């Protein structure tokens, strides 16, 4: 993955929007991606969104103009995680041995 920038978003239920919790370029971006991979966090590439968010201070809520694209990304990640969970459950659930 040859990306120069990375941002980390976190959504806490009840808050108005996700917050940016980390950002970086070059080496810091590489560290962010490496840590995400080690922790099993999905990495989604969206350079236009990343560049928009790189202009914000860490800790800020994402701007309203990014809500739609971030919502689409979160829905995509949720669907992938749900599919992975169902796949894991079906592997561990052997008929007649429950």
pLDDT recorded at residue 32: 96
- The pLDDT of 79-94, averaged and rounded, is 63
**CATH of the structural domain 5-92, one choice from 3.40.1160.10, 3.40.1690.10, 3.40.1190.20, 3.40.50.880:** 3.40.1690.10
For 16-47, write each residue's pLDDT tens digit. Answer: 999 999 999 999 999 999 999 999 988 999 99
78: pLDDT strictly greater than 60: yes
85: pLDDT strictly greater than 80: no
Q: What percent of the chain has pLDDT over 70?
A: 82
10: pLDDT strictly greater than 80: yes
User: Is there a contact between 22 and 58 (Cβ–Cβ < 8 Å)?
Assistant: yes
User: Is there a contact between 41 and 6 (Cβ–Cβ < 8 Å)?
Assistant: no
- What band does 77 get if pLDDT is binned at 50, 70 and 90? confident
52-79 burial, b at 16+ Cβ within 10 Å, e below that, comes to bbbebeeeebbeeebeeebeebeeeeee
User: Is there a contact between 26 and 4 (Cβ–Cβ < 8 Å)?
Assistant: yes
* Rounded Cα–Cα distance for residues 30 and 1 (Å): 9
Helix (H) or strand (E) holding 51: helix 47-54
* Rounded Cα–Cα distance for residues 33 and 30 (Å): 5
pTM: 0.75
Mean pLDDT of the chain: 86
84: pLDDT strictly greater than 90: no
């Amino acid at each position: 993955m040859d990306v120069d920038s990375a941002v980390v978003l976190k959504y806490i239920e009840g808050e108005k929007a996700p917050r940016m919790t980390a950002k970086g370029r070059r080496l810091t971006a590489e560290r962010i991606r490496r840590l995400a991979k080690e922790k099993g966090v999905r990495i989604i590439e969206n350079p236009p969104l990343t560049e928009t968010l790189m202009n914000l201070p860490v800790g800020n809520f994402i701007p309203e103009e990014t809500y739609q694209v971030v919502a689409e990304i979160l829905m995509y990640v949720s669907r992938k995680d749900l599919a992975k969970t169902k796949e894991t459950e079906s592997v561990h659930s052997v008929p007649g041995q429950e």
